[in-house]
Chains A and B, each alone.
Chain A
Amino acid sequence: MVDAFAYVPAVVLLPFFSFLVALGAGKYLPKGGAFGGVAATAGSFLLSLWVAATVAGGRAYNETLYTWAAGDQFELTFGALIDPLSALMLVIVTLVALLVHVFSLGYMNDEGETGLPRYYAGLGLFTASMLGFVVADNLLMAFMFFELVGLCSYLLIGFHFREPGPPSAAKKAFLVTRFGDYFFLVGVVAVFATFGTAAFAGEGSFPALAEAALAGSGDVWTPGGLGVETWFTVVGLLVLGGVVGKSAQFPLHTWLPDAMEGPTPVSALIHAATMVAAGVYLVARMYGFYALTPTTLAVIAFIGGFTALFAATMGVVKDELKQVLAYSTISQYGYMMLALGAGGYVAAVFHLTTHAFFKALLFLGAGSVIIAMHHNEDMWDMGGLKAKMPVTYYTFLAGSLALAGIFPFAGFWSKDEVLYEALVHGLNEPLLLGGYVMGLLAVPVTAFYTFRMVFLTFHGEPRSATARDPEPVRWNVKGPLTVLGSLAVVTGFINMVPVQKVLGLEGIDYLHRWLDNEWGGIDGLSSHHYADLGPYSSGYIGGGEVPTVLVGAAVSLGLALAGLGLAWRLYNVASPTEHTAKLGGIKDVLYNNYYLDELQVWIAYRTEDVAGGADTFDQGIIDGVVNGVSSVSLLGGNRVRRIQTGLVTQYATMLTLGLIALLVVLGVNGGWFL
């Protein structure tokens, strides 16, 4: 029988080939190489389904495929790790990438963009890098593809390089994430130094070694005799630096809204399935290590909860469609971090999954609106598009309901589970409870900005000429929207934990069972194992699990509906006005993103000042000394020339004096006078 796992490298390499083809021959191919990309991602998607089916058939895969550097000190390798988590992620990434490729036919080709081969090459490389990251079996390989993902985001965000904005945004995206990746790389190096390996899974993997070391049955290197637990916390936080950068968590989130300068399908890819997802996926991938360090978990949860609320507040005042979505992405990834920090491994992966679909949907829907609006993204110029573009409207609505967490759309189930995990574990952990409260407060804000966006864009009267007569979109736009729209409705049903708990229906929490290796998987990489490692105990309100589930769900749904209701009241009118102006000074602060961008620009300028100072110092002092020495010797040369008098007696005197001096020096050194 042919083994699906033998084709895992092909899943990664197919989009890579489409990159090569588009780069090398794109301008001779129809549609600038788009079909190659569509075919490659379709192939990867089918292979991923097959791989997932094989995992469902009770098997897993953890093999080293290539030795990058075969040293004695460390062996640096590439390999593939296929377990329920990576199989699920493969399906998500390839599906979203495929739909983004198809959508691009409408968004890029039909709009007459130039540079299409470069665009499709970038998409191919982006997809390939992300897939390489997903299947990585060790931290070094993960880091390498993580960086390549960063490169691709640079290339695609800066796609319109002839304009001033995109290159600047691309630079910012790479630089800010690079700052995070610095810590990640130190973490990778530290993992090697500590454990001698960076493998994710198996007996000799670093999470397993860390577990053994904490249990006292293993010995690992720590710097300067630092305690094992302290050191693991440091290492965990270092790796987390990369996660915070890529997943756009506070305070490294600032690159993401700027990244909206990239073409909209690229935004969909970045936000739903590739770059931003990479950070959260990394924490999930090495959860066996994170679960061992309670401090790190608490930090993750707190950053997540804070980011969820913080980003949501900024989304409230934005005028541009994609800006609102950008802040919603930051906020939603905050929820995933909250879940991971709260010990809700499955909840985080669940939200990652549902978010991938509904956020890809919302971005592609926004792309459809942008086509219709001739690339005007200001929501105040829209309005009334509902009647003109029903497919876009209804799918976008489905995505918005999911984002707002309205029952029974996908986002409701996953967000509810995230909050539930944070609540039950947080009742005994004040820091976690803080994260929960912030996450809960973000719920009505999310619902509010989401429906502000929906109402401003689609409802009311058209507020501009283009909105009255929008450009129609074709099948290549509507097709992907329909697929994702359906997924935004149904994905939640893979994990209806509240229903199971309340009604006592066993076995409908499919995602829990999937990630718990119920069908197939690798020992040590199951949600049960992580729960055993984790530091948390559960607390309940109202006397048990069922009341807690019901109260939690009711509160979050109630808050979401309240936010939606407020948006309805304010913006679902024929001619809405800018109610946010009533916020006064707060609006300015929110609109300017709490002035964090200014802070980072300030830091950049001060760094340049320091560099300028170093340059002055270098030219003046260090090079000054060098040039000074040379002028002294030139001057000395002049003086020396004066003693060349031509008088033999003077030369003889000097020779004699010199000889005596030499003898004295040698004598002193040789000890003759002692």
Chain B
Amino acid sequence: MILEALIGFTFLAALVVMLAPNAWAGRLAFALSAVPFVGSLYLWSRFDAVGNALTGGTIAFESRYEWVEVGGRTVSWFVGLDGISLPLVVLTTFLVPLAILSAWTPVDSRQSQFYGLMLFMEANLLGVFTALDFFLWFVFWEAVLVPMYFLIGIWGGPRRKYAAIKFFVYTNAASLLMFIGFMSLTFALGDSIGSLALPEITQALADGGLETWFGISPGRMAMVAFLATFAGFAVKVPIVPFHTWLPDAHVEAPTPVSVLLAGVLLKMGTYALLRFNFTMLPDQASALAIPIAAIAVISVVYGAMLALAQKDLKRIVAYSSVSSMGYVILGLVVFTEYGVGGATFQMVAHGLISGLMFMAVGVVYNATHTRMVGDMAGMADRMPVTVGILVAGAFGYMGLPLMAGFAGEFFIFVGAFGAPALPYAPVFTALAMFGIVIVAGYLLSAMQKTLFGPFRLETDYEIGPAPFHDVAPLAVLLAAIIVLGVAPDIFFEMIRDAAMPVVEGVSVDV
């Protein structure tokens, strides 16, 4: 019941905030959003899952109620956690209060709706990471888009309508493709499944339950489903060449929305890839290892090159997400303990670091009302603490050891280099690793131009240090990044436990 309570409370909080007056909606939303975070810490303290939820492991906080029956398949309310989903739940509940705090300064209209939608989105995100029934999962998955659409479309920048519609249509079309692909797969499973529960589907696929369906052989069916779901999730991640909605969405979205978009929403894509493509259809993933690794490397290097070309600070951070997500794909496709585990760890690490970067850029923007590199210089002189944390966050993004990003990236690299499942693994890994040089190039050069040197910015007002409620979430995020970088096993231990069955699921001739 505890997961229902967590999700239900968040929905309720969204409703309450929606009805609250604008004047104190922000404070109320922050207070209410602290409850799910405390709740997720409680979950963590009582966490007792073993193995992977989809492959027959012990599921923590499992709760299942039959809902309806469609065509001989039951659809249930089925939620639970394992070592892969718990870190993402904690990440979500941790980031939302901080994102809400970072909205206090920039969001100055229709606050109750804004904060209500933020909480509504959080509730659906928690649903995505906890649902273990395909139908339930898909409902949450789609429902996340709705608040996001309004958050960008109402509170966004000048081109908010374009960005919101592009985001919505693009990701929705991708979801449709994924839905069709996956549903075909479940139809082809015939009588070997009696429900749409993900563990059951995983088991049936592993047992060879696919039948010939409308003349499509099991092997081809699995491959078609893999490609359809992969493409569908690739848009969400996003993987090159499906990434172009991301910078538009980020540039137009207000800071707190960007924080959740980069921090959590992108992880929906990688999480789904891990759950569906790499856990359920490992042999197809393995057969396509070379092309997948190639697009991972392209995402890393191409994304980083695009970031290098940008002049808008937020666009730089946005494109660097494309680059970082490329590492996650590489980690998944190598099917090793450190590869898959590192990919999952990197989801959390990148969630924190990109959240911090967007937030810090947002705090600077609150003061300067510009994000263009050429417009300002020497901001460190006026906002020393904010800039100090921004610099620390940037080094986190560059993979500075003892910060979370290094841990995630190193785990992926060390897991990938000698991986037997990926031909030419050392070459792919070494190429992807060059991303750490480019990322240092564009972040250092952007920082040098905007933060250091003699102060220069044309304004008709004085720029001073940012208010406490702007800086506090930055400091909290930085602390979390360092803690996770010094002691990655806080999460990495349970992640490994849940990742091992995925690794063992692939049949590789070593």
Q: A residues touching B (Cβ–Cβ < 8 Å)?
A: 67-74, 76, 140, 143-145, 147-148, 151, 158, 161-164, 166-168, 170-171, 174-175, 178-179, 182, 185-186, 188-190, 192-194, 221, 223-224, 604, 607-608, 610-612, 614-615, 618, 622-623, 626, 630, 666, 669-671
B426 close to A69 (CB less than 8 A): no
- B375 surroundings in chain A (CB, below 8 A): none
Please tell me if the beta carbons of B426 and A168 are within 8 angstroms of each other in the complex. no
Q: Which of B61-69, B262-270, B302-310, B360-368 contacts A (4 or more CB under 8 A)?
A: B302-310
B308 neighbours in A (Cβ, 8 Å):
607-608, 611
| Contacts A/B (CB < 8 Å), 9 sampled | A69-B489, A70-B493, A71-B341, A71-B492, A162-B454, A607-B441, A611-B309, A612-B309, A618-B302
Main secondary structure of the interface of A (DSSP, over half): helix
Cα of A71 to Cα of B492 in the assembled complex, Å:
9
Interface residues of B in 406-454 (CB under 8 A from A): 406-407, 410-411, 413-415, 417-418, 424-426, 429-430, 433-434, 436-437, 440-441, 444-445, 447-448, 451-454
Q: Which residues of A contact B338 (CB under 8 A)?
A: 71, 73-74
Inter-subunit contact A167/B453 (CB<8 Å)? yes
The reply to whether B401 and A143 form a contact with Cβ atoms under 8 Å apart is yes
Q: Is the CB of A618 within 8 A of B306?
A: yes
Give the distance to chain B from A221, nearest Cβ to Cβ, in Å: 5
Assess whether B50 is interfacial by the CB under 8 Å rule.
Answer: no
Q: Assess whether B436 is in contact with A185, with CB atoms less than 8 Å apart.
A: yes
Min CB distance B328 to A, Å, is: 17
C-alpha gap A604/B216 in the complex (Å)? 52
B4 within 8 A of A: no
Interface pair A614/B309, CB less than 8 Å apart: yes
How long is the Cα–Cα vector from A448 to B468 in the complex, in angstroms?
Answer: 58
Give every chain A residue within 8 A of B424 (Cβ-Cβ).
Answer: 224
- For chain B, the count of residues having a C-beta within 8 Å of the partner chain is 65
Q: Which residues of B contact A69 (CB under 8 A)?
A: 407, 411, 488-489, 492
Q: Is A189 a contact partner of B241 (Cβ separation < 8 A)?
A: no
Question: Contact at A185–B413, with CB atoms within 8 Å?
Answer: yes
In the bound complex, do residue B305 and residue A145 qualify as a contact, i.e. CB atoms below 8 Å apart?
Answer: no
A182 and B433 contacting across the interface, CB-CB below 8 Å: yes
Q: Which listed residue (B214, B395, B400, B425) contacts A666, Cβ 8 A?
A: B214
Which residues of the other chain, A, contact B445 by a CB distance below 8 angstroms? Answer: 171
**Contact, CB under 8 Å: A622 / B241:** yes
Query: How distant is A429 from chain B, measured CB to nearest CB, in Å?
Result: 31
A608 to B373, CA, bound (A): 15
What's the least CB distance linking B161 to chain A, in Å?
13
Residues in chain B near residue A615, CB distance under 8 A: 305-306, 309-310
B214 touches A669 (CB 8 A): yes
> Are the CB atoms of B411 and A223 closer together than 8 Å?
no
10 extra interchain contacts, Cβ-Cβ under 8 A, other than A147-B400, A170-B448?
Answer: A69-B411, A73-B337, A143-B401, A161-B452, A162-B378, A175-B437, A189-B414, A193-B418, A615-B306, A630-B169
Interface residue? B229 (CB, 8 A): no
A674 to chain B, nearest CB (A): 10
Give Cα A630 to B244, complex, Å: 13
With contacts A145-B401, A162-B378, A193-B414 taken as known, whether A626 is within 8 angstroms of B309 at the C-beta atoms is no
Residue of A nearest to B427 (CB): A223
Give Cα A238 to B336, complex, Å.
24
Q: Interface 1/0s, chain B 251-271, versus A by CB < 8 A?
A: 000000000000000000000
**Min CB gap A237→B, angstroms:** 13
Which chain B residue lies CB-closest to A226?
Answer: B426
* A74 CA to B378 CA, complexed, in Å: 44
Q: Which residue of B lies closest to A172 (CB)?
A: B444
Q: Which A residue sits closest to B449, measured CB to CB?
A: A167
Closest CB in chain B relative to A18 CB, distance in Å? 18
User: B215: CB under 8 A from chain A?
Assistant: yes
Docked CA distance A170–B395 (Å):
13
Is A70 a contact of B400 with CB atoms below 8 Å?
A: no
The 10 A-B residue pairs whose C-beta atoms are closest, nearest first, are: A193-B418, A144-B401, A167-B452, A615-B309, A611-B308, A611-B309, A623-B244, A193-B417, A73-B337, A161-B452
* B454 and A164 contact, CB distance less than 8 A: yes
Interface centre among B309, B400, B413, B425, by most A CB within 10 Å? B309
- Which residues of chain B are near A224, meaning CB under 8 Å? 424, 426
Question: Quick check: A148 and B415 within 8 Å, CB to CB?
Answer: no
Residues of A contacting B417 in the complex (Cβ-Cβ under 8 angstroms): 189-190, 192-193
- List which B203-225 residues lie within 8 A (CB) of chain A: 214-216
**Which one of A69, A143, A144, A618 has the highest number of Cβ atoms from chain B below 10 Å of its Cβ?**
A69
Residues of B within 8 A of A669 (CB): 214-216
Instruction: Let me know if B406 and A144 touch, CB within 8 A.
Output: yes
A residues in contact with B436, CB < 8 Å = 178, 182, 185
CA distance A81 to B196 in the complex (A): 55
Where the two chains meet, the residues of B that have a C-beta atom closer than 8 Å to any C-beta of A are 166, 169-170, 214-216, 240-241, 243-245, 302, 305-306, 308-310, 336-338, 341, 378, 380-381, 395, 398, 400-402, 406-407, 410-411, 413-415, 417-418, 424-426, 429-430, 433-434, 436-437, 440-441, 444-445, 447-448, 451-455, 487-489, 492-493, 496, 500
B437 contacts A182, C-beta separation under 8 Å: yes
Chain B residues contacting A70 (CB-CB under 8 Å) are 489, 493
Q: Within the assembled complex, what's the spacing in Å between the Cα atoms of A182 and B301? A: 14
Interchain CB contact under 8 A, A174 and B305: no
Q: Quick one: given A67-B489, A145-B401, A151-B400, are A608 and B444 in contact (CB under 8 Å)?
A: no
The smallest C-beta distance from A370 to any residue of chain B, in angstroms, reads 23
Which of chain A's residues has its CB closest to B435's CB?
A182
Query: In the bound complex, do residue B496 and residue A71 qualify as a contact, i.e. CB atoms below 8 Å apart?
Result: yes
B404 to chain A, nearest CB (A): 12
**Shortest CB distance A173–B (Å):** 10
A223 CA to B416 CA, complexed, in Å: 12
User: Could you tell me the distance in whole angstroms from the C-beta of B400 to the nearest C-beta in chain A?
Assistant: 6
A143 cross-chain contacts in B, Cβ below 8 A: 401
Assembled-state Cα–Cα distance A179/B395 (Å): 15
Given contacts A69-B492, A73-B415, A622-B241, A611 and B305 within 8 Å (CB-CB): yes
Contact check, A144 vs B402: say whether CB atoms are below 8 A apart. Answer: yes
Kindly list chain B residues whose C-beta atoms are within 8 Å of the C-beta of A188. Answer: 414
Asked if A161 and B380 sit within 8 Å, CB to CB, the answer is yes
Q: Does B448 lie within 8 Å of A167, measured CB to CB? A: yes
| Structural contact, A148 and B402, CB atoms closer than 8 A | yes
**What separation, in Å, do the CA atoms of A166 and B398 have in the docked complex?**
20
Which chain A residue shows the least CB distance to B488? A69
* A127, B48: Cα distance in complex, Å: 42
Report Cα–Cα, A193/B430, bound state, in Å: 13
Cβ–Cβ < 8 Å partners of A179 in chain B: 437
Given contacts A189-B417, A608-B308, A614-B309, whether A175 and B444 have CB atoms under 8 Å apart is yes
Cβ-defined contact, B434 with A670, below 8 A: no
Instruction: Report the nearest A residue to B336, measured CB to CB.
Output: A73
CB <8 Å contact, B444 and A174:
yes
- Which one, A147, A168, A174, contacts B401 given CB within 8 A? A147
Among B169, B415, B426, B447, chain A packs the most CB atoms within 10 A around the CB of B426
List B contacts of A145 (CB < 8 A): 401
Chain A residues near B488: list those with CB within 8 A: 68-69
Q: Which residue of A lies closest to B492 (CB)?
A: A69
CA distance A151 to B403 in the complex (A): 12
Query: What chain B residues lie within 8 Å of A76 (beta carbons)?
Result: 414
Which residues from A are CB-within-8-Å of B306?
611, 614-615, 618
Chain B residues whose C-beta falls within 8 Å of the C-beta of A147 in the assembled complex: 400-401, 406
**Taking A73-B336, A182-B433 as contacts, is the C-beta distance between A171 and B244 under 8 angstroms?**
no
Q: Which residue of A lies closest to B169 (CB)?
A: A630
Cα distance, A671 to B216, chains bound together (Å): 11
| Residue numbers in A under 8 Å from B411 (CB-CB) | 69
Q: Which residues of B contact A168 (CB under 8 A)?
A: 448
Q: A163-B454, A185-B436 are in contact. Are A171 and B406 (CB under 8 A)?
A: no
Can you name the residue of chain A whose Cβ is closest to the Cβ of B304?
A611
Q: How far is the CA of A525 from the CA of B402 in the complex (A)?
A: 28
Minimum CB–CB distance from B387 to chain A (whole Å) comes to 9
- Interface pair B170/A626, CB less than 8 Å apart: yes
Query: What's the Cα separation between A618 and B426 when bound, in Å?
Result: 28
CB of A601, distance to nearest CB on chain B (Å)? 12
